[in-house]
Amino acid sequence: MRKLDKRWTIRLGSLALTAALLGTSAALASGGGQTDPLVTLSYLNQTAIPQIVQQVETKTAARQAELEQEFSAKLQQYRQEAGQSVPSGGSASYTLVTMSQGQTMTLEVGCEVLLRVGTATVKAGDSPALIDLSSAGTIENGAALTKNHLYLSTIAGRTITASGTVKVLVRGGYALS
């Protein structure tokens, strides 16, 4: 009887193993394949991907707005710390100024002047009148400005007087009279 029990045990075991293998292969075959995938391409294209893109765009827009606010605040703080106030008649970029015969331009400290057209002379109470940044030199009271040379006023009260029609590029504080 022992031999009979062993044979039946082996047969029942192999039958159970076969059934388990067939069940597993059937479950795997029905779970997806080339013709019947688990996630359809249309679901990805019409639902999943647009939702992901929308989430990314929403988060990106929120972060961009946050960064813009931070940048504006830091820029304002920098301007306050740097004393960004531009003197009257001054500018952070060059301004083309046309002067007529005998007209005078009074320069503030830090004002830059570049003569483009005409002739003009500088007046100052002491030396040097202006710093010539183009030649790394100075010009004295009563001297004529050289065309296309950049001049810097380092002492307040320096004036430039036009001899005819004059065009100058100016950056910084100045007043015309």
What pLDDT score was predicted for residue 177? 84
Low-confidence stretches of the chain (pLDDT < 70) are 1-6, 8, 12, 17, 19-34, 36-37, 82-92
What distances in angstroms separate CA 144 from CA 11, 30, 66, 129, one per listed residue?
Answer: 119, 96, 54, 11
**What CA–CA distance (Å, rounded) separates 70 from 88?**
30
What pLDDT score was predicted for residue 84? 46
What pLDDT score was predicted for residue 74? 87
**What CA–CA distance (Å, rounded) separates 122 from 135?**
17
Sequence ranges of the domains in the chain: 97-176
Instruction: Find residue 144's DSSP bridge partners.
Output: 121
What pLDDT score was predicted for residue 85? 45
Convert the pLDDT of each residue in 1-37 to its tens digit: 455 566 767 776 777 767 666 666 655 555 555 676 6
CATH of 97-176, one of 1.25.40, 1.10.3470, 2.60.40, 2.60.120: 2.60.120
Looking at every residue in the chain, the average pLDDT score rounds to 81
Would you say the C-alpha torsion 96, 97, 101, 104 has a positive or negative sign? Answer: negative
**What CA–CA distance (Å, rounded) separates 48 from 172?**
58
Cis bond before residue 128 (omega within 30° of 0): yes
What are the CB-based long-range contacts (under 8 Å, 24+) for 129-132? 129/158, 130/154, 130/158
Rounded to two decimals, the pTM is 0.48
What distances in angstroms separate CA 127 from CA 72, 113, 139, 155, 158, one per listed residue?
Answer: 43, 18, 8, 10, 10
